[in-house]
A and B are shown apart, each in its own frame.
Chain A
Amino acid sequence: MTTTLQPPDIGAKADPVAADAIAALVNNAPVPSPTLLKTFNAMMAREFRVLGRNAVSTFIRSVMQPLLFVFVFAYVFPKIGGGIMVGGAGAAARGGVNFATVLVPGLMGSMFLMQGMFGTTMPLVMEFSWQRTIEDRALAPVPIRVLGIQKICAGAIQAFIGALIVLPVTYFVHAAGQGPHIHVSDWLVFVLVMIGASTLTAAMGLLLGTAMDPRKMQMVFAVVLMPMTMLGCVYYPWSALHAIRWLQILVLLNPMVYMSEGLRAALTPSTGYMPIWAVMLALFGGTLIFGFLGLRTFRNRVIN
């Protein structure tokens, strides 16, 4: 049967050599000994290989937003005398705090959202649509929830790095005398907030990426990302909302608020901040709740 056909250009006709090679692959293969940890690490290594391959585009994506923000708010506005912005924030922050100082924790918070949530959601949308490439990972010898936890970890690491990038950017880009006044006043709080915010946004990303219809992603940007950022105490400290009491209470539903405020507590305490216990409760409690919901929808999407 095969002799009448020319072997196709793709090679691998079952000639004796190839046949022996394939037979050897079946019979002389190294015996695998998977463990949860090995598989988990291999999956993380895969994420970093992909991130590394897209390093340039990932970096540009991470840098552009904070760069433009600080350029406009800490360079352009002070230069053109943008009294509206500076005055408003200054009044809120009570006493000589420039706007860059108010902005840095908020920008970091919004980077968590961008990198953590969308860094987790977008690959998931790809993996679940089209050819369902998620099945490749789903066949790895670990429970499906471990795969979901791995997705959260990978997204959290991206969020962590993305938020840190804000610091050097804001440090270098500003008008004379308009640089932010930042120092880590409490390392423990800083590290805990960074971790809690990273895992929370990644867990939200897992839920969003598995529960949302990919065709409605545009809507998600408009309905989730925009309000969360604008009302996430990015441009003003939460205490300043005191003037609009109903809004101050309403924004407590927004996870972003706790990221921005937690970072204010750790980096720029002079701007005033929310109680630390509330921040920690929201970040880690939120991670658990969104993580639980996300892992459940993830499993339901993987297993039919």
Chain B
Amino acid sequence: MTASTSGTVTEQAPDISGDAASAAIRTEGLRKTYKSSRGDVEAVRGIDLNVPQGEFFGLLGPNGAGKSTTIGMLTTLVAPTGGRAWVAGHDVEKDTVAVKRRIGVVTQNNTLDMQLTVSENLQFRSRFFGLTAKVARERADQLIDAFGLGDRRNAMADKLSGGQARRLLIARALVHRPDVLFLDEPTAGLDPQTRVNLWDILKVLHGSGQTVLLTTHYMEEAEALCDRVAVIDHGKVLAFGTQQQLKEDAGADSIVTVRLDAAIPSDFAERAHISALPGVTRVEADGDQLRVFSREPEGLLGQLVSTATAEGLHIRDASEQKPSLETVFLTLTGREYRE
């Protein structure tokens, strides 16, 4: 049994150099295929990421895009079937113990130890990471106070509300001072107030220098928190960069949408020369709605409305969306669907 043979956890030196070593997270062609009798499922299909220390990084994508599988591989709980990944300079496959020492993980499911109290959940996690019982108690008290759980200190973990449980999960992930904090859909299923409240905590953490990787399918969450974002769908990164870069690179223009009370005539966009309007990059007609992507949206909405009215069409609804991660995503997935 290994426990008796050595007092210390053996650990390989970081096996990469230069940028990769200083990167908090790096992946090269990371891939996960689940084998099953009904055919293989390619959950992650070759992902390349590079997250420097101190960054708040977001993996944004719809449910089932491969975000949780990616986080699972980075946190050693899912075995990759291809590619490589390093967290805090350590290979997630070859050096799992070194990786686990340096990460804090908040999983999507509530993995609190339901047979322990709030305080014991923190104390035992601290002791798993080598703190003495006394230091673990002090650390638990500090964390409980900082995370506003003072009045639930001795409550059993299964008696917490959703928001309290989530805060305890985050507190627990921080007991051992992790280099990288992983948060998998941290606000899924929470009410809006509790969510904003968690965002505040995460902002403070990041402000204190904590590196964070967060997955979310809420656009506004990524916009509120992340320095950089990878947009991911069907197990692939569609776009990668700061929010500003994404908006520029992905051609994330403003999107003007006009909805009629009947189907859009097939030749309407052509006859109205919408594509020729200044700044327009793309026009999409889909059933009763027309979507126009534009770099210069000023006046476009009015122009569309008057053109449609002149054609004798009845407009039910018209709107303009400013460039956001949402429009980026629409732009990206729209393009993918057409290919």
Mark A residues whose CB is within 8 Å of B.
Answer: 1-2, 5-8, 10-14, 18-19, 21-27, 29-43, 45-46, 49-50, 53, 131-146, 149, 302-304
Count of A-B contacts judged by CB separation below 8 Å: 195
Q: B12 in the interface, Cβ–Cβ < 8 Å?
A: no
Instruction: Name the distance in Å between A131's Cβ and chain B's nearest Cβ.
Output: 4
For the complex, would chain A's binding face be called helix, strand, loop or mixed by DSSP majority? helix
Instruction: Name the distance in Å between A7's Cβ and chain B's nearest Cβ.
Output: 7
Contact B75 A139 (CB under 8 A): yes
- Nearest B residue to A46 via CB reads B124
Which of A33, A39, A133, A303 is close to B112, meaning CB atoms less than 8 Å apart? A133
State which residues 59-100 of B face A: CB under 8 Å: 72, 75-79, 96-97, 100
CA–CA, A41 and B143, complex, Å: 23
Contacts A10-B197, A139-B75 hold; do A32 and B113 have CB atoms under 8 A apart? no
Complex A-B, nearest 4 residue pairs according to Cβ-Cβ distance, in ascending order: A12-B148, A11-B148, A14-B200, A42-B127
Contact B139 A30 (CB under 8 A): yes
* Size band of the interface chain B makes with A: 35 or more
Instruction: Name the distance in Å between A23's Cβ and chain B's nearest Cβ.
Output: 4
Contact B208 A10 (CB under 8 A): no
Contact A304 B78 (CB under 8 A): yes
Contact B110 A303 (CB under 8 A): no
Contacts of A133 on B, CB cut-off 8 Å? Answer: 111-114
Mark B residues whose CB is within 8 Å of A.
Answer: 1-4, 6-9, 34, 72, 75-79, 96-97, 100-101, 103, 105, 107, 109-116, 120, 124-131, 133, 135, 139, 142-143, 145-150, 161, 163-164, 167, 174-177, 191-194, 196-197, 200-201, 203-205, 207-210, 224
- Nearest B residue to A29 via CB reads B177
Instruction: Name the distance in Å between A5's Cβ and chain B's nearest Cβ.
Output: 6
Contact A36 B3 (CB under 8 A): yes
- Nearest B residue to A19 via CB reads B204
Contact A23 B207 (CB under 8 A): yes
Contact B9 A12 (CB under 8 A): no
Contact B201 A12 (CB under 8 A): yes
CA–CA, A140 and B178, complex, Å: 12
Which of B7, B75, B148, B209 is close to A26, meaning CB atoms less than 8 Å apart? B209
Contact A302 B77 (CB under 8 A): yes
